[in-house]
Structure 1
Amino acid sequence: MLHRIGLSSILAYCAVAGVIGGVSARGAEPLKVGDRAPDFSVTGIDGKQFSLSDKLKSGKHLVLIFSRAHW
């Protein structure tokens, strides 16, 4: 019985997360290979602001790695 309740809870969570994710991404068009990345800015752990456009001004190559970290 507890296994069934746990499984039902997980399925309900996934369904809600899928609906929320679909709603938030509905207005965005996917990028195609060769498209320019949209500019964005983030705050580093030291409090400094970084933007994609600022980093690209140097003319050097830039590699971005997005990782889901669970600390």
Structure 2
Amino acid sequence: MHAEALRRLRDRCEEAAQAFQVFSEASEQLTRDAMQAMTADQARRVRELVEQRWTLFDAILLVIEEDDPLF
């Protein structure tokens, strides 16, 4: 029983690691796409927010919302 529980736990950890890898790759691509689509001023503003400890995604969303309130 104990060995089976550990095996299931290991399998779940492996699945989580794979899902995190997929998320991480998608996150990096989304960030690249967003930064390329922004103007130089918007990209600078995102960098400033990140330096102030905003998460990258929150900074990107805030900058988009600042320029387009209907977003």
Shorter-chain TM-score: which interval?
Answer: 0.3 to 0.5
TM-score (norm 2): 0.44
TM-score (norm 1): 0.44
Higher relative contact order (CA closer than 8 Å, sequence separation 6+): 2
